[in-house]
Structure 1
Amino acid sequence: MKNFSTKALALVLWSVIFSFGGCAVMDKNIPGWSQYRNPDKVNELQLASSSIGEGNPVLLIHGFGASSYSWRHIIAPLAQKYRVITIDLKGFGESPKPRDDLYSVYEQARLVRNFILENDLQNVHIIGHSYGGGVALVTSVYLAASHPNLQNSLVLMDSIAYPQDLPDFVEVLATPGLGPLIIYAIPNTIQVKSLLKKVYFNDALIPQSAIDHYAGNLDKPNAKYATLTTARQMLPTDLQQFSNNYASLTIPTLIIWSKDDEIVPLEIGERLHADLPNSKMVVLNDVGHAIQEEQPSLLLPYLQQFLDAGTHRTAPNSK
């Protein structure tokens, strides 16, 4: 009875907080694009990674609060033709979680760009989801400026890209006082299950194994610190100015979006499609924000067809 009461109280608190929202404060003192434009080539930390298969590399970049685990359903199918590389972003999964203030997409992309250079990834296809899509965009801008022949193509899935209203759970985590209260007071499994209900279109498809895995990740040392810091730095204050770089990205790009995405709205994807000169867009119905977890069989044919066609660069298409 005691455990039930504790869980019930946590659920009520979680629901009330989401109903009222928070007053998120984005970190305004973190370095912006002007400071990151010419990054150093040495990483102070090593991102956790794994690799399977042979062929041109396909680098998978997960979203906020996730890890390489989020790609579990599509790794083996893609590895039949490609060398599939998964990484855990700084602060997530098995990667280091230093207690510093550098968790923006610019910092993450600097680490990913250096990972690509250090591992000599030639003709790399980069696939990014959500927050990881923002990281993939910045990484692609880096590579286009300094190593334009390294990247073969780009896939963006329900990706952050422009200033937008934060999802309610990110706003809560980014709110001073409230964010730490929530992430440390409410049991991990309740937090994760509540968030996955916003990520999935069909809640019945949420596996208990995923809840347990992500809840376990939150138990790692400094994981909650990294989550809170990333939430505050989710959207750089100069993101609108940075988005001017998108028009110069001429690599073939596939944009995949859920029509019913509650996290990053479809209009963000449509704007990306208009700004990226060599992009194609696919809009999927009856699936949520994390297509690769909820309906991987729906996603895979589009990925495989795009990757298979991407052996050579193509000229920007007309729109």
Structure 2
Amino acid sequence: MSTSTESAPWQLRQRIQVTGGEVAADVFGDGPPLVLVHGTPASSYLWRDAVPELARHHTVHVWDLLGFGASRVASGVRPSIAQQARTLADLVAHWGLTAPHLVGHDIGGGVVMRAHLVERVPSTGLALLDAAVIGPWNTPFTEHQQRYAEAYRSMPPHVFADIVEGRLRTATHRPMPEADAAAYLAPWSGAEGRQRWMDQVCAVTFEDTREVVDRLEHVTAPTLVLWGQEDQWLTPAAGERLAAAIPGARFDTVAGAGHFIAEDRPLETAEALVGFFGRHRLPS
């Protein structure tokens, strides 16, 4: 397995068939297993600069959610949080992992917690980063798209692209370099990308995390709730509420980071994860 992501452009080398479609994935490093789950409207590209530090301490598994990045959804499958959680359970079994550390960002937090609490995926430790778990967590922009989905689906692709790009640039606290913005936007380009975007927007609902919220008090795995201090999509107050609902959870923030915490501050994000999981490592 590879231990570096710096010598070549970010590209996931594995393709794994799951019940909901085909997942693009990869594995880096060596050590206790750790699975990274991104949110919307990102892909595993979010983790590219955090992976090298994480891979110094962990075997790091990354994947693109179904319908995101290089992953594809099977015909007739909705890329809902519930479906993504089932897919995460499939991947953990495929990789032969017993109780990995699970890290979820944005709706990836909802995916991780649903996989753990509903799909019964064991975990040695959990980390929820700017996570969409306790509602309401849909932003006004997402709600508007859901309400007027057909208008967005039929919008000229170049107009849609302008809207999506403007929205993406509010996900970080620091200005996003053009090359990085282009990498995030590439899967959503053209008419096909517009449809993929709207498919995942329309599939996202708080109903998929409602059952998770009802079970948060039963979480026993050590849990870190980590938030970008400058998050304008889900403010740190949402993180404080989430941490308070999970027994023994630790809440912390990363200065100078917006909603895309690992984009703004990749090293600080990785170090926070390594430090937390290192303190809660099970005896060998």
- Counterpart of 2:25? 49
Query: Cα distance 1:117–1:267, how it changes in 2: closer, same or farther (>3 A)?
Result: same
Equivalences for residues 219-234 of structure 1 within 5 A: 219=189, 222-234=192-204
211, 215, 219: which one aligns with 2:181? 211
Query: Is 1:61 paired with 2:37?
Result: yes
What letter matches 1:193 in structure 2? Answer: E
**TM-score, normalisation: structure 1:** 0.76
Query: Is 1:168 paired with 2:137?
Result: no
Query: 1:151 is paired with a residue of what secondary structure?
Result: coil
89, 106, 127: which one aligns with 1:113? 89
Query: Cα distance 1:182–1:305, how it changes in 2: closer, same or farther (>3 A)?
Result: farther
In the alignment, structure 2 segments of 5+ residues that lack a partner are 1-17
Structure 1 CA distance for aligned equivalents of residues 44 and 178 of structure 2 = 17
What letter matches 1:184 in structure 2? Answer: P
Query: Is 1:281 paired with 2:251?
Result: yes
Structure 1 CA distance for aligned equivalents of residues 208 and 67 of structure 2 = 22
Check conservation: 2:110, 2:131, Cα contact below 8 A. yes
In the alignment, structure 1 segments of 5+ residues that lack a partner are 1-41, 314-319
Structure 2 CA distance for aligned equivalents of residues 70 and 183 of structure 1 = 27
Query: Is 1:252 paired with 2:225?
Result: no
Structure 1 CA distance for aligned equivalents of residues 200 and 209 of structure 2 = 15
- Counterpart of 1:179? 152
243, 268, 273: which one aligns with 1:298? 268
Query: 2:276 is paired with a residue of what secondary structure?
Result: helix
RMSD: 2.3
Q: Specify which structure has the higher proportion of strand.
A: 2
- Counterpart of 2:48? 72
Moved more, 279-288 or 167-176: 167-176
Structure 1 CA distance for aligned equivalents of residues 260 and 233 of structure 2 = 10
- Counterpart of 2:12? none
* Structure number with larger C-alpha Rg: 1
Query: 2:23 is paired with a residue of what secondary structure?
Result: coil
Structure 2 CA distance for aligned equivalents of residues 280 and 208 of structure 1 = 35
Runs of 4+ in 1 over 4 A off after TM superposition: none
1:238 is displaced (CA, Å) by 6.1
Check conservation: 1:52, 1:84, Cα contact below 8 A. yes
Query: Cα distance 1:221–1:107, how it changes in 2: closer, same or farther (>3 A)?
Result: farther
Structure 2 CA distance for aligned equivalents of residues 99 and 65 of structure 1 = 21
Query: Cα distance 1:193–1:185, how it changes in 2: closer, same or farther (>3 A)?
Result: closer
Moved more, 254-263 or 64-73: 254-263
Moved more, 169-178 or 107-116: 169-178
1:44 is displaced (CA, Å) by 4.3
Check conservation: 2:36, 2:60, Cα contact below 8 A. yes
Moved more, 103-112 or 170-179: 170-179
1:162 is displaced (CA, Å) by 2.1
Equivalences for residues 15-54 of structure 1 within 5 A: 43-54=19-30
- Counterpart of 1:263? 233
1:179 is displaced (CA, Å) by 2.2
Query: Cα distance 1:97–1:43, how it changes in 2: closer, same or farther (>3 A)?
Result: closer
Check conservation: 2:28, 2:59, Cα contact below 8 A. yes
Query: Is 1:129 paired with 2:105?
Result: yes
78, 94, 100: which one aligns with 1:102? 78
Check conservation: 2:51, 2:270, Cα contact below 8 A. no
Query: Cα distance 1:242–1:151, how it changes in 2: closer, same or farther (>3 A)?
Result: closer
**Percent of matched pairs sharing the same residue:** 24
Moved more, 154-163 or 259-268: 259-268
1:256 is displaced (CA, Å) by 0.4
Query: 2:205 is paired with a residue of what secondary structure?
Result: coil
What letter matches 1:201 in structure 2? Answer: H
Check conservation: 2:219, 2:247, Cα contact below 8 A. yes
Structure 2 CA distance for aligned equivalents of residues 278 and 112 of structure 1 = 25
Structure 2 CA distance for aligned equivalents of residues 71 and 213 of structure 1 = 13
**TM-score, normalisation: structure 2:** 0.85
Structure 2 CA distance for aligned equivalents of residues 142 and 94 of structure 1 = 26
Structure 2 CA distance for aligned equivalents of residues 89 and 183 of structure 1 = 26
What letter matches 1:134 in structure 2? Answer: G
Check conservation: 1:101, 1:229, Cα contact below 8 A. no
1:219 is displaced (CA, Å) by 3.3
